[in-house]
Chain A
Amino acid sequence: MKYGFFPGCTYSSSAGYKESTEAVSKILGTELIEIEDWNCCGATSYWSTQDIPAYVLPARIMALAEKQNLKQIVNVCNACYSTLRKAKEKLSKDNELLEKVNISLAEEKLKYSGKVTIRHYLEVIVNDLKPEDIKKHVNVDIKDVIVAPYYGCQLNRPWGDLDNPHYPTMLDRLCKIIGAGVLSDFSAKTSCCGAASIMPHNKECLSLNQRIVSDALFKGAKVISTICPLCQLNVDASQLKLNLTKIPVLYFTQLMGLAFGLNERELGMDKLIVPFKI
């Protein structure tokens, strides 16, 4: 299966997201074709200014995908995913805005028509692949890796169409498919990590991360699994300042890679701040 792929700005510098995503997608046969000449989506902070350029940025990514004949854009970042989806929704309802955005895009001979579908890689794996197509690649028993499945706040909100918006189970199901242990009562699944606010409001955001980490520890998790580079960084790095037992924070793709028999180096796990030891 072929998908257009929007890596987003933090993809290659994050703690092994690129390595593990590439490795896992190769095994699963989900071919991720990177959109050529992509740009920053503007993330949620720029989006909130409601400036015309804040709409042009995501529209340009989608217009590029259209031009390159890619029908779907797969994201690995919750902020990218939600920004593209929000832009698509906004532009579908506001013709005047669409016109202005297209005037900007025309300078590069691009045109946004709204034909592409916006996806998240987690949801692609869970919805497009059959469980047995994932399971057949599992060759390492990781049942002792008890996972706290952490979704972050933006994947399914405000839409609520992928999963339950407050208590999703998509990642839980994937963990079970690959044979990992999974907490059935993790309460911080969709708690916010503070996102970019962790820079200006470090103290407040630390307490948010404390709740995520302490609930995972209290419920008996061995790792926290994330689906977003900013979530991963915040929950991982915050632990340096939290007076709690350390718990590694893995990308879901790294967890899959472990089950598929890849080694930690291949999955970029040496870049994790809290080291993975099991």
Chain B
Amino acid sequence: MKESIPKIGVYVCHCGSNISGKVNVSEVVEYATGLPNVESAQEYKFMCSDPGQQLIISDVKEKGLNRVVVASCSPRMHEKTFRLATQTAGLNPYYFQMACIREHDSWVTENPEKATLKAKDLVRGAVARVAHHEPLTPRVVDINPNVLVIGGGIAGMQAALDIADAGKKVFLVEREPTIGGNMSKFDKTFPTLDCAACISTPKLVAVGQHKNIELMTYSELIDLKGFVGNFTATIKKKARYVDASKCTGCGICSEKCPSKKILSEFDHQLTYRTAIYTPFPQAVPNTRVIDKEHCLYFKKGKCKACEKFCEADAIDFNQKDEIIDVEIGSVIIATGFKTFDPTPLTQYGFGRFKEVYTSIQFERVNNATGPTSGEITTKDGRKPESVAIIHCVGSRDQNHNKYCSRVCCMYSMKFAHLVKEKTGAEVYEFYIDIRSPGKGYEEFYNRLQEEGTHFIRGKVSEVTDIVDDPSDQGKLTVVAEDTLARKVRRIPVDMVVLSVGLEPSEGMQDIARMVGFSLDSDGWINELHPKLGPLATASDGIFIAGCCQGPKDIPDTVAQAQGAAGSALSLISREKLAIEATVSVINPNRCMGCLQCENVCVYGAISYNPALNVCEVNEALCKGCGNCASTCPNKAITVKHFNNDEIMWEMEGILSN
């Protein structure tokens, strides 16, 4: 309810000398005293300080003020502070108006007289406006404590476990048939050479067994609606054609499946799998899945070998994709990365020479569950005498990815160590710069140098099967300019590892559109703030963890995952959320349902109600930007606290000199 007669208190701030250095504050105060409805006007050194705020509070009580104007810095700086002071004094917080006489005046005006004049204009505008303010009440909504985690790699698993351990419900959605992500493909981790499986498998099991985690593998997010605290996620659970409640994971089906020549995604095309399969032995869940595209029954209508041999009677060819909705209050995106495909770099011969591997393939070669059971051998079974590792393949490259992928130097050196340890072969690391910032990383680099790994500084120009010495026939020659020794090196080797960089996972554009966050020019998720908001996005309630935000190693990924889990838990612990009152409202009597407002709303806050042929605003999503109000051809939309009346009065005030 509007107070009948406005009684306005005006406070002009010195801001040390930030304002008073240019603006004659006393003159402004004196001027303000004479403005309509102004009950009192005062100056103070720092209005934002406790005594400054106290001034407002006691004046309201003692002088019976019902409106407050502070002329100081930008509203972005202290509007919230003074609104709170106004509220503490017992007034509606929106009975306050700020005049920006620092950023808009003293800092940018050279002449003190002009600065003082402008300060008077701005104060006059604020006084005229505040008299017409309406009281507003922020809406309070409940926060749903459930969390959705998208992606079941190490980041997603860690975040899910932390939240679940705090007693909150987590829905963990993973696109692949198993959780584990890229980390479960690795053999050792740098620089400690821990066995990756030994530290990640317990996490897989813990996630699979946790009573607070509802695991949805072979599933994808297909829609997300709602707002912070109250989202509805729509998830597609793809048909596995295997009943998870019956499958024991015995593996007889895979043994009997006649389609055996399907390139394994998990082993990055180094081995074959069957049409009914599990990506790797420790997969969680251990339920098999039938790859419809390669299954003989789905292709030709007969076979069903798996069904015949399954003792648990778990095969179900009639299973259908399932679409389910889950209610959640926050989302953690942990979609990870994929490795760069080096095929376009034809000079390195990937795909042309069989002994050229990508680094992720070489992880599999090293892994005990990989194609060679962890032994490093060439494809024809020879132990290599020499191995070349080429850094920065597709990274720091103007033609491909311009950025450094951060992990390649370190994993390349890990490979060098493993090759030496397992085969005794000579290892040549071709690098541009060695980047080893991290705990124990530089020490690992030193250790590798001591172990006799050859470090050659130079970008490799080509990998070729042309050899200069006929006795090297069958080897690959790596050609590079050694920029330290200043000569061209041609080194014959048995195996070549391309240290490929990291790229955002497939489908990030879709998720970004659905969930409402932005991607940078390389496709990584834009965090809220590069320094101070690395775990959040610009959409409230949407947090990020791991490589989806940018390349990072396992410790950093886990740290970010735990941070994101903490952020989600902090949100949940608030239980209720106040939603800013300065939102737009649509008058249904004036709205014609033309949808122009919906088109300009960047927050997705406006939707169309076909039953009433009107547009409606979701107050929780609305940020009060005013795009819709200025677009509406029928003047049906008002933005609270920025209605036409208030803006006209402010202009009237400023211009009435």
Contacts and interface: CB of A to CB of B under 8 A. Distances in A.
Interface of A: 164-167, 185, 187-188, 191, 207, 210-211, 214-215, 218
B346 A166 contact: yes
Contacts of B346: 164-167
Please classify the interface of chain A as helix (H, G, I), strand (E, B), loop, or mixed, using the class held by over half of its residues.
Answer: loop
Contacts of A166: 345-347, 462
A215 B476 CA distance: 13
A214 B345 CA distance: 24
Contact of B466 (A165, A167, A211): A211
A185 B466 CA distance: 11
A171 to B, nearest CB: 15
Contacts of A215: 465-466
B167 to A, nearest CB: 57
Interface string B447-489: 0000000000000001011101000010000000000000000
The winner among A165, A185, A187, A211 for most chain B CB atoms within 10 A is A187
B468 A187 contact: no
Contacts of A188: 464, 466
Given A164-B346, A211-B466, A218-B473, 10 more contacts: A165-B346, A166-B345, A166-B346, A185-B465, A187-B464, A188-B464, A210-B468, A214-B466, A215-B465, A215-B466
A51 B123 CA distance: 67
B352 interface: yes
Contacts of A165: 346
23 contacts: A164-B346, A165-B346, A166-B345, A166-B346, A166-B347, A166-B462, A167-B346, A167-B347, A167-B352, A185-B352, A185-B465, A187-B464, A187-B465, A187-B466, A188-B464, A188-B466, A191-B466, A211-B466, A211-B468, A214-B466, A215-B465, A215-B466, A218-B473
A191 B462 CA distance: 10
Please classify the interface of chain B as helix (H, G, I), strand (E, B), loop, or mixed, using the class held by over half of its residues.
Answer: loop
Contacts of A214: 466
Interface in B333-355: 345-347, 352
Contacts of A211: 466, 468
A119 B347 CA distance: 25
Interface of B: 345-347, 352, 462, 464-466, 468, 473
Nearest to A211: B466
Nearest to A214: B466
Contacts of B347: 166-167
A238 to B, nearest CB: 15
Contacts of B462: 166
Top 5 A-B pairs, shortest CB-CB distance: A167-B346, A166-B347, A166-B346, A215-B466, A187-B464
B464 A207 contact: no
Contacts of A218: 473
Nearest to B470: A214
Contacts of A167: 346-347, 352
A211 B464 CA distance: 11
A164 to B, nearest CB: 5
Nearest to A165: B346
A257 B462 CA distance: 34
A207 B352 contact: no
A165 B346 CA distance: 8
A207 B466 contact: no
Contacts of A164: 346
B631 to A, nearest CB: 43
B314 to A, nearest CB: 46
Contacts of B468: 207, 210-211
Nearest to A215: B466
The winner among B345, B347, B466 for most chain A CB atoms within 10 A is B466
A218 B468 CA distance: 12
Nearest to B348: A166
A210 B465 CA distance: 14
Contacts of B345: 166
B541 to A, nearest CB: 45
A182 to B, nearest CB: 15
A105 B83 CA distance: 75
Nearest to B344: A164
Nearest to A207: B468
A167 B353 CA distance: 13
A201 B177 CA distance: 61
B380 to A, nearest CB: 17
B27 to A, nearest CB: 57
Nearest to A219: B465
A166 B468 CA distance: 20
B534 to A, nearest CB: 38
Contacts of A207: 468
Contacts of B352: 167, 185
A191 B490 CA distance: 14
Nearest to A212: B466
A202 B567 CA distance: 69
A233 B352 CA distance: 30
A93 to B, nearest CB: 18
A234 B451 CA distance: 45
A214 B352 CA distance: 19
A257 B473 CA distance: 35
Nearest to B461: A166
A214 B347 CA distance: 19
Contacts of B473: 218
A13 to B, nearest CB: 31
A167 B465 CA distance: 13
B508 to A, nearest CB: 28
A188 B477 CA distance: 12
A164 B344 CA distance: 9
A151 to B, nearest CB: 13
